[in-house]
Amino acid sequence: MKRISLLGATGSIGIQTLEVIREHPEEFELVSMSAGRNIVLCRKIIHEFQPELVSVQEKEDADRLKSEFSSVKIVYGLQGLEAAAVFDKADVLVNAVLGSVGLKPTLEAIRSGKTIAIANKETLVTAGHIVMEEAIRNNVTILPVDSEHSAIFQALQGEKEKNIERIILTASGGSFRDRTREELHGVTKSAALNHPNWSMGAKITIDSATMMNKGLEVIEAHWLFSLPYDAISVLLHQESIIHSMVEFHDTSIIAQLGTPNMKVPIQYALTYPDRLPLLSGKRLNLSEIGSLHFKDMDLNRFRCLKFAYDAGRAGGTMPAVMNAANEAAVAAFLQDRISFLQIEDLIEKAMEHHIIIGTPDLETIQEADRETRNYVNSVI
């Protein structure tokens, strides 16, 4: 029996993780969890899964839940997130919270010896060097949940790092894949939120439309697989059937395929190195699909991908700054405060404005994150 702590239980990945737990009650148990502000769903999850510790974002919500669930330990805020992450009865932390708020709880969970199943890509983007160092120091395994990284991780089983030529992350192209830059002026929020292949939370769906999602994934891959940026490439693949590939020096390419279903990588991270049958979800039928399409990535069309390569190569505080600018800009777009194309303008401005600090510690990263959010909001 694997005992799970789940951060972001009320989100897209969180809900799918709960489905995996529900489908395999003999294998998995939810022992602690966090929600943000969706208290209606949080309450339902507590009733069904009966975790021992629950964290929510706001104190008022925590007070309300305390009066309803006397046998559950209810905590709140950033300290609450950390308490849920390090809960002593948990073996594994599934980090599916949104944004760089996921960083500190991940580090605390690593220090307390938990295996980490990481969906929260912002954690690795902002402080990959610290996270990976801490994981090595504490002999902790970090298992990818992001579909592309899970694909690469699966393709690398039994392979030697020294034989890798490059990895190829596939990108669907998002909601505006077939539009030119000129056609992006005035696009609506609802059009941007209409991802062609995946049903995901709002922020990552916008990241997908700006191609920042792939940019974050390039940096995430750099840390997870210890590869230089020159060995990480991105390929447009509109069907999201090949989730990513590894090319070896002998020219062989190993790819992982499947219908777009996040329960596969979530479940694999929870069962690794074993597998379990997936009890819900469509099997891939290639003859039904018929053909798959591929196209080189145009960095002038998808500027956010270029920003991410630049930030990753620059290193230091720059990836954290790029990420914070993106989080602030996407939040503003979702609140109808800026247009779609202003997202990338704001990220570019924030990166130009920032003076890099090399090999930053956690406090320096958190300060750069705060300053960048303030800067972006002041520009808006």
Ligand X SMILES: CC(=O)[C@@H](O)[C@H](O)COP(=O)(O)O
Q: What phi, psi does 154 have (nearest 5°)?
A: -70, -40
**Binding of residue 106 to ligand NDP (CB under 6 A):** no
Task: Return the number of the residue (200 or 322) whose C-beta is nearest Mn ion.
Answer: 200
Give the three-state DSSP class for 95: strand
**Binding of residue 210 to ligand NDP (CB under 6 A):** no
- For residues 210 and 175, the answer to whether their CB atoms sit within 8 Å is no
Walk across the sheet containing 92-95 and list its strands: 73-76, 53-56, 28-34, 2-7, 92-95, 115-118, 142-144
Kindly write out the interface string for residues 209-228 of this chain, putting x where it contacts ligand X by CB under 6 A and - elsewhere. ----xx--------------
**Binding of residue 12 to ligand NDP (CB under 6 A):** yes
- For residues 326 and 211, the answer to whether their CB atoms sit within 8 Å is no
**Binding of residue 200 to ligand NDP (CB under 6 A):** yes
**Binding of residue 146 to ligand X (CB under 6 A):** yes
**Binding of residue 215 to ligand NDP (CB under 6 A):** no
**Binding of residue 100 to ligand X (CB under 6 A):** no
Kindly write out the interface string for residues 151-190 of this chain, putting x where it contacts ligand NDP by CB under 6 A and - elsewhere. ----------------------------------------
Q: What phi, psi does 54 have (nearest 5°)?
A: -135, 130
How far apart, in whole angstroms, are the C-alpha atoms of residue 135 and residue 113? 9
Kindly write out the interface string for residues 171-190 of this chain, putting x where it contacts ligand X by CB under 6 A and - elsewhere. xx-x----------------
**Binding of residue 121 to ligand NDP (CB under 6 A):** yes
Cα–Cα distances in angstroms (integers) from residue 188 to residues 44, 172, 193, 206, in the given order: 33, 19, 9, 11
Q: How many helices (H) and strands (E) does the chain have?
A: 16, 12
**Binding of residue 247 to Mn ion (CB under 5 A):** no
- For residues 124 and 219, the answer to whether their CB atoms sit within 8 Å is yes
> Residue 127 contacts by C-beta under 8 Å, 6 or more apart in sequence?
103, 107, 320, 360, 362, 365
Residues near ligand X (CB under 6 A) are: 146-148, 171-172, 174, 198, 208, 213-214, 262
Numbered residues of the known binding site for NADPH: 10-13, 36-38, 120, 122, 201
List residues binding ligand NDP (CB under 6 A). 8-14, 34-38, 57, 81, 96-99, 101, 119-122, 146, 198, 200-201, 203-204, 262
